[in-house]
Amino acid sequence: MKAIPLREVSSDMSSQKYKRTNFVDDEGSSEGGTPPGVTYNPEIVFKVGTSMWQDRTILERLFAILLLALTLIVVILAIILATKHDKIQQLTSKKEYCLTPACITAASALVNSMDRSVDPCEDFYQYTCGGWIKYHPMPQGYSTWGTFGVLWKQNQLVMKNEIEKPMSDMKCEAERKAKMYYESCLDKNETIQELGAQPLLNFIRDKLGGWSISDRAGPFDPSNWNFQDLLTKIHRFNHATLFAGGVGGDDKNSSRNILQVEQGGLDLQRDYYINKTIDDDKYLSAYLKYMTDIGVLLGGERNATEEHFRDVLLFEQSLAEVTTPSEERRDEEKLYHKMTVAELQEKVPFLNWLNYFNDMLLDTRVQIDQSEELVVFAPEYLGNVSMMITEMLKNDTQKRVLHTYMVWGIIKSLTSYLSKDFKDASKDLIKVFSGTTGEEEKWRTCISDTDDKLGFGLGAMFVRATFDGNSKEKATEMIGQIKRAFKANLPNLKWMDAATRKAAREKADAVIDMIGFPKFIMDPKKLDERYEKLDIAPDEYFQNNLNNMRYSFNRNMEKLRKPPDKTSWGMTPPTVNAYYTPQKNEIVFPAGILQTPFYDQNYPQSLNFGGMGVVMGHELTHGFDDQGREYDKNGNLRPWWNKESVTKFKNATKCMENQYSSYKLGDENVKGKQTLGENIADNGGLKSAYNAYMDWVSNNGEELPLPGVNLTQKQLFFMGFAQVWCTTSTAEADHETIIGDPHSPGKFRVIGTLSNSRDFSEQFNCKKDAPMNPQKKCEVW
């Protein structure tokens, strides 16, 4: 189930072969030499006998001087013209720079992005991105803005133009559903505003059985409340309360799906709760205010509502304390615990697990018994939660807290589908957490929402409009080059023994490439089958989303007793991203990322390999990072490395963990352990892509340099890598990145990766111990 994506971080490869030539004058044509074709003897011209000169009249002497002057002029002109002609011939026959429109465009973009006042060996991120940051202020509604966002906005516009075509232009029912959903989001008839809070109040009353915060949502009687019944109802709407339950691939048997249970239940990042006091912490106090404002909009009395939610936040803090932090959950073997339902019942008795799973499977044809196997990824967490819930169910006051927490969780996920006052209530909260209160244009919000809910229907329109027929073939070719370079580097890794090296080569060969889009979206019948059970209606935005939540839940539960679908996609075609799935050993590159600045078939290959090539290498390397390496070539979680190699690998990764932990964003250090997998992938991806580009050059010749940039093509490779991470962000967004993102901030994805690269230091002639060329370098792949 695990997909490891690139954040923010996406078409054709150029078939043109450029041969770089230096302009060198031919022999005999240098200025001051004898022009070709002109022969004369200067002695005959200038050496005149004295007696003869004296015998001439004044008129004859003047004529002779004039003739001499004219001769000199002719000779000089002949020299100049001959030299110019020779140079013009050479300039027209030998190109010094790549002057195609694409090259000029690329050169202009690079120059505008750079800050030439910075030494590239001091700070390559600022050198590459200083100009970009200066001239790209964040647009409205964004707390982080980078090249990924620019490309996503372009993709949004393409999707808008396609989905706003007449309904008669839609190719199938799935596309019509996407269009109806988009229009229900736009709400041109103002149905959402007219209904206000009522759709959510009806949902709480009719589907959840009421809520203690508001009588308008139906009364709540703790003495008659069935905890398990409410938990199951909420989970069946695809919302993880207290824990997440579902179906996924069995990590140790990739040929089957299995029931799974995972920790969950926190509305905020874990770090926001730990060792914090609600009234003294700006994040928790802002969150409490938001909760209270929403409760009041739903009919609650302000003071009582605030007190209720204060108790809920205290409960969430206790949940956070027993939640295992993400950086301590990187060993897949340690997380995997297979047991039967009966064994789970004994270890975690706060639920009737057999009834729970059979209720979850109610809309499928599958029912299970106590012997059913499942995988529990957080048994210790579940044990602690079991004890907490058992105690809370013993008295009505604590029941009320638990009930409010559970209902609040799903309410929070539904407020964005309500009227404007609910969106306005979130502005202060957004300001605290992101540093901005702006909103995107409505159509952009709705395009993104439609991509999230019916992304393959919308994606079919996007692909028809943008994805070149040769793009997939060219991308496949580049991936092949990256794989060959990755494998060719394996003998250079001193920490790896021969047997492990052979197994790693086999795994790289077995990696499945998924490029552009899944085939089924181009088949109207199959695309309609995908969304057949999803009901979408005009002017029913809230209900459309309830339908989608139930639809997504049922699609997941229907996987039990079926083998994993090796062709399924976890991202939609317009997505500007990519990912690797260890259980399938596959790398996926949606059409949305196979565009400039990541790839352009007319750009120099140096930029293509530096951009898209590194992305490809990044995802390939995920199969060999600290988590991906635990899965074999068939996607099974099992030991397949020599123990000595494992020990040496961990030593190498420790170097990288410590390196990135030393970087600071504002006053906070990057979490080197939390970001380890992505850092390994960045470093390995860069090396593979660079080596692949060197192979390309050896087969195709040097490329012509770009005008005005004053960099070699090998230097441009590193520029191509760095420019995709140019980013501006608020201090609040930086804090969010540090505490919860598995990726390092963009600045350190550039600095950290390149400071480990000997190729980079060599190409930019960085002195030893320069900031971008430290003596100690970390290398894993």
**Sequence ranges of the domains in the chain:** 4-17+110-145+470-518+575-763, 42-93, 196-439
Note the pLDDT of residue 729. 93
| 110 touches 709 (CB < 8 A) | yes
In contact, 670 and 660? CB cutoff 8 Å: yes
Q: Give, rounded to a whole angstrom, the gap between the first and last alpha carbons of the chain.
A: 25
Cβ atoms within 10 A of the Cβ of 141, count?
15
* Alpha carbon distances (Å) from 768 to 309, 755, 758: 57, 11, 11
Mean pLDDT value across residues 107-136 = 95
- Which among 273, 247, 463, 260 is positioned nearest to 379, based on CA atoms? 260
Is 4-17+110-145+470-518+575-763 a domain of CATH 3.90.1300.10?
no
- 728 CB contacts (<8 Å, ≥6 apart)? 133, 136, 137, 138, 144, 145, 146
What is the arithmetic mean of pLDDT over 727-744?
93
- Please report which confidence band the pLDDT of residue 469 belongs to, taking 50, 70 and 90 as the band edges: low
Q: Hey, which residues are catalytic here? A: 619, 682
Task: Classify domain 196-439 at the CATH class level.
Answer: mainly alpha
The CA distance from 587 to 579, in Å, is: 6
- pLDDT, position 633: 95
pLDDT at position 58 over 60: no
Q: Which two tokens stand for residue 454?
A: 């019916």
Rounded-to-integer distance, Cα 724 and Cα 672, Å: 22
Confidence band of 46 (pLDDT split at 50, 70, 90): very low
With 0-12 CB in 10 A as exposed, 13-18 as middle and 19+ as buried, what is 558? Answer: middle
Question: Looking at the predicted structure, is the pLDDT value of residue 544 above 80?
Answer: yes
* Phi-psi category of residue 242: left, alpha or beta, with phi > 0 → left and psi -120 to 50 → alpha: left
Contact 682, 749 (CB under 8 A): yes
Q: Contact at 8 Å (CB) between 746 and 136?
A: no
Least confident of 53-67, 348-362, 400-414, 441-455: 53-67
The span from the CA of 759 to the CA of 690, in Å, is 8
- The whole-angstrom separation of Cα 33 and Cα 203 is 93
CA distances, 751 to each of 123, 654, 663, 730 (Å): 7, 18, 10, 20
What's residue 72's pLDDT? 43
Closest CA to 382 of 416, 412, 422, 350: 350
Average pLDDT over residues 267-273: 93
What is the arithmetic mean of pLDDT over 171-176?
96
pTM of the predicted structure, to 2 decimals: 0.84
pLDDT tens track for 399-437: 999 999 999 999 999 999 999 999 999 999 999 999 988
pLDDT digits (tens, 9 = 90+) for 351-393: 999 999 999 999 998 999 999 999 999 999 999 999 999 999 9
H helices of 571-712, in order, are 605-608, 614-622, 643-661, 676-700
pLDDT of 7 over the 60 cut: no
- Does residue 30 carry a pLDDT above 90? no
Q: What is the mean pLDDT of the chain?
A: 87
Kindly tell me the sign of the dihedral angle through the C-alpha atoms of 678, 682, 684, 688. positive
The predicted structure's pLDDT at residue 11 = 29
* Token pair listed for 747: 């600045």
Report which of residues 86 and 656 the model is more confident about: 656
**Is the bond preceding residue 597 a cis peptide, omega within 30 degrees?**
yes
The encoded tokens of residue 734 equal: 């930086």
Check residue 438 and give its pLDDT: 74
Q: List the Cα angle 40/45/48 in 5-degree steps.
A: 150
pLDDT higher than threshold 70 for residue 174: yes
| pLDDT tops 80 at residue 79 | no
Contact present, 146 and 746 (Cβ < 8 Å): yes
C-alpha–C-alpha distance, residues 697 and 708, integer Å: 22
CA 123 to each of CA 29, 119, 127, 137, 771: distance values in angstroms, whole numbers, following the listed order: 45, 7, 6, 21, 7
At 622 the pLDDT is: 96
Each residue's pLDDT tens digit, 196-210:
999 999 999 999 999
What is the rounded distance in angstroms from the CA atom of residue 283 to the CA atom of residue 273? Answer: 9
Q: Which helix (H) or strand (E) holds 589?
A: strand 586-590
93: pLDDT strictly greater than 60: no
Res. 3 pLDDT band, cuts 50 70 90: very low
pLDDT for 493 beyond 60 = yes
User: Could you read off the pLDDT of 586-614 as tens digits, one per residue?
Assistant: 999 999 999 988 999 889 999 999 999 99
State the greatest distance between any 2 C-alpha atoms of the chain, in Å, as a whole number: 141
Q: Report the pLDDT value the prediction gives residue 218, as an integer from 0 to 100.
A: 82
- Tens-place pLDDT, residues 552-576: 999 999 999 999 998 899 999 999 9
Is residue 381 within 8 Å of 323, Cβ to Cβ?
yes
Model pLDDT, residue 40: 26
Q: Are 607 and 625 in contact (CB under 8 A)?
A: no
Per-residue pLDDT for 147 more than 60? yes
What is the full DSSP assignment across 608-646? HIIIIIHHHHHHHHHTTSTTGGGB-TTS-BS--S-HHHH
Asked whether the beta carbons of 119 and 127 are under 8 A apart, the reply is: yes
Report the pLDDT value the prediction gives residue 605, as an integer from 0 to 100: 95
pLDDT at 51 over 50: no
